Structure 1
């Protein structure tokens, strides 16, 4: 065993994680997997036998590897068993129906990354490159700012501003052509659950649109917070002041 767990399991999970981080994932060769994981090809080949047997990885006719059906099945089980899906997805759809940019919900993945767990594309012809399951930098983007503002002791100006306004706006931090707006969602213990956000091409984030969408996102985040049993009086008061009539 390693200090973290069973070595063989750690290596197998390292192989699976090699497929993360690509918005448009492509099948990978054994050489590419070796570069991403730092594992020897001979070690990986032995692990691949078990991963393929349980459906975690499939080998294509050209010899490359891709994720198999099991991760998708487990993801579907996670969504069905997770209250977030039932409570957040209707809110994201409502935001998009009211003409906002694409709606997403992000949670903290680790010290460096956040995970987009839910996504609803906007009705616009051009979109930003974000999808459910994508891992994104924690220290860049509006959702990352929100997560760090309410789940860390970061003391930078943008984090302090997010704590005061319960809203974060970013322009080109993660992608130079994209922008985003985010607000926090809290649970029954009043701890941060995640960040509700809208994002899209930066050219559409005019001052007027930012004001309008910031109010809608904050109100939506407050409604989800209430459904999850959370309470934040300061956030609720600000949402009530800013929200626009339907």
Structure 2
């Protein structure tokens, strides 16, 4: 680790003890005030520290947000994984779990198909946000102003003839997804791959993740895959109940 990064990271546990001024930070790090100021300014630019009106520094809200997000994502993956495995054992197809982070939707878990034909998706890899079923669910759950702002900034590559062509079409599709509570990708990213997805919700009813079942049409037709929707939704509901601490099944 470089000396600069090491010094910058050393500031965070110091401020975790309470607000500190420039002199205190410099003394603790054993550096000149100008060096400490440069490090603090960099951390401040990224929202990791905050300068108070009394010129002392404390930990920034961005750091807490990142920590909370990391904890939530770790928890949801840990809770969901056994359910994903059971769903995979029952249907045999590839199962994914994804979350919305910043401007991307990322896979955070995957259970491989038992069939010889495998998907190229990887844990940690962003999905094709304008066509992926999990992305549609997570974006559809956003408040309308935020949803429109996100959609307007996206590019709309035409992966196949079934890809979403533009922002207006995507907003219409997200409205349908929001109303029905599930989503599909029927050849929108790859012509030979179909997918059906359902949301995982927290105690407040907001979607914290989305899970899906995907399969190539040489293994199962789109119609047959859609027939798994009740099973997919039951699995998502079971994960939601465990994640939110609600042990009562949805009626």
Instruction: Give 3-state SS (helix, strand or coil) of 1:114's partner.
Output: strand
Aligned equivalents of 2:142 and 2:77: distance in 1?
21
* Match of residue 121, structure 2, among 130, 137, 142: 130
Deviation at 1:171, TM superposition (A): 1.4
Q: Per-residue CA shift, 1:90-125, capped at 9, x if unaligned?
A: 1110111002420110001232x2100001001111
2:206 is aligned to 191
1:226 aligns with 2:241: yes
Q: Per-residue CA shift, 1:131-178, capped at 9, x if unaligned?
A: 211112222211111111112525733222222221111112222321
Aligned residue pairs total 159
Instruction: Give 3-state SS (helix, strand or coil) of 2:108's partner.
Output: strand
Deviation at 1:230, TM superposition (A): 7.0
* Match of residue 130, structure 2, among 136, 139, 144: 139
2:90 is aligned to 98
Structure 2: which 5+ runs fail to align?
Answer: 6-69, 148-169
1:84 is aligned to 76
Q: Conserved in 1, the CA contact under 8 Å of 2:194 and 2:225?
A: no
| TM-score computed with the length of structure 1 as normaliser | 0.57
Mapping for residues 66-215 of structure 1, pairs under 5 Å: 82-111=74-103, 113-153=104-144, 154=147, 156-215=171-230
Instruction: Give 3-state SS (helix, strand or coil) of 2:199's partner.
Output: strand
| TM-score computed with the length of structure 2 as normaliser | 0.56
Q: Conserved in 1, the CA contact under 8 Å of 2:92 and 2:115?
A: no
Q: Of the two, which has the highest radius of gyration?
A: 2
Mapping for residues 31-46 of structure 1, pairs under 5 Å: none
Superposition CA RMSD, Å = 2.9
Instruction: Give 3-state SS (helix, strand or coil) of 2:127's partner.
Output: strand
